[in-house]
Amino acid sequence: MPVPHDYRSIDTASQPLSQAQPRIFLVGRPGAGKGTQGTRLAQRLGVQYVSTGDVLRKAIEAHTPFGTAIEKVINAGNLLPAELIISLVESCIDGDGYVLDGFPRTVAQAVAITSQASNSPPIAVEIAIPSNVALDRLTHRGRFDDDITIARRRLVVYETETVPMLNYLQSCGLLHRIDGDAPADSVEQSIWQRISVVLGSSHPTPAVIMPAHRNALSDVASLFGAVAAG
């Protein structure tokens, strides 16, 4: 796949790859703002943004066999099987660095993605909001799976499946927690401050990069059929 922007050509020849190909996971309760922050962060870094939720909802809206198969699970507020979501994500990412929104969500998913061969250590950013704030935001958002009963279920699944994963990432020294109960611009600033430190000050600044934003959704259209058939 061609690289639509080449910030590595600016002054990165002598830098370790870990700074040129950031692998960032955005995690946090439903409604934490992962979509907003993930899009902004990917744009700043000039890397691919992949939201598993967006990919899955697109499949549902397109009424593909895969979409029909997963709709019930999503509408119940439950998670999809690990193998399915892991292969979906692997098909979406192109290895040039990425921001993942909504993945990993379980210990199994975290083990799978963190053990992938790569020169860059993964960076997990938790956008932390309390559950009452999450519930309030979800019930005002109006997405089809934001119905109060489904939203409550998703928050329970977050506690049982995702919190243990956060503990796992924390024990690996990969987790960075950001307060997400603040205006989007200030959350963006906090995330960027933390990411800049982790990546190192020599990482090109957004003003220098001016990256083209890429979206993985069009790249995976063909996958829906493949997953459903498999």
Write the interaction track for ligand ADP spanning residues 114-153; mark x where CB under 6 A is met and - where it is not.
Answer: ----------------------------------------
What CA–CA distance (Å, rounded) separates 192 from 216?
Answer: 22
Using the contact rule CB under 6 A, the part of the chain among 11-19, 38-46, 103-111, 217-225 near ligand ADP is 103-111
Listed ranges 77-85, 116-124, 173-181, 194-202: which one lies at the site for ligand ADP (CB under 6 A): 77-85
Q: What type of residue is 57?
A: R
Under 8 Å between Cβ of 66 and 227: yes
Instruction: Give the torsion sign (CA, 97, 102, 104, 108).
Output: negative
Give least dist CB 206 to ligand ADP, A: 25
Cβ–Cβ < 8 Å for 178, 198: no
Q: Which is nearer to ligand ADP, 44 or 105 (CB)?
A: 105
- Please report, as residue ranges, which positions from 152 to 181 form the binding site for ligand ADP (by CB under 6 A): 154
In 3D space, the residue among 31, 49, 48 whose CA is nearest the CA of residue 187 turns out to be 31
Partners of 123 in the β-ladder:
24
| Tokens 């909504």 belong to residue | 102
Residues that bind ligand ADP (CB under 6 A): 30-31, 34, 52-53, 56, 73-74, 77-80, 85, 102-103, 105, 109, 154
